[in-house]
Amino acid sequence: MSVLVGKNAPVFKANAVVNGGEIVEGFSLDQYKGKKYVVFFFYPADFTFVCPTELLAFQDKMAEFESRNVAVVGASVDSANCHWKWLQTPQNEGGIQGVKYPLVADQSLMISTAYDVLAGNFDYNEQGEDVFVGTPQAYRGLFLIDKDGIVRHQIVNDMPLGRSVDEVLRLVDALQFTEQYGEVCPANWKKGEKAMKATHEGVSDYLAHRK
């Protein structure tokens, strides 16, 4: 798998559904550059089982993300029309009605490929024809992108393994803390807790206060 941390987030333009029901063309993460942090996450497919629990969990925490100046954007290989239909379907019928953040349509599989979360790859058969080998869906990849468009964190789960939205918020807090104060965040650090200076003395001081 490609490690994108420390690199520019791959650029794309694609159809997307925004505000829970508006299909737009040419959606790009570039609109947030210089303005917002971005949590960009992939999920396998609309109208599945684990996926709605994740998408709704992100929506439940949108006020927390917005208070941290973070845009949340989801993506799968489904079409914009499929996203739209899922967004209009009530939650008690397997839908995600009420989700307002953008959902990107990666029908070409090129965005999932660029972020290296595609569960399969293109190859050639014996006749020399271009074919897809594997599952044309994205793993549960998540990328935390700073305001300069640089990937600062990435994680990829296999399809059955749902993510922790609280952990995503913790990582946003850690990134913003280090940017503001220049200190580093130790294991299991949470907002409001003591961090440490990136020196031997800083580590010693932190460990001494843990005891």
Catalytic residue positions?
51
CA geometry: angle 141, 143, 147, nearest 5 deg: 165
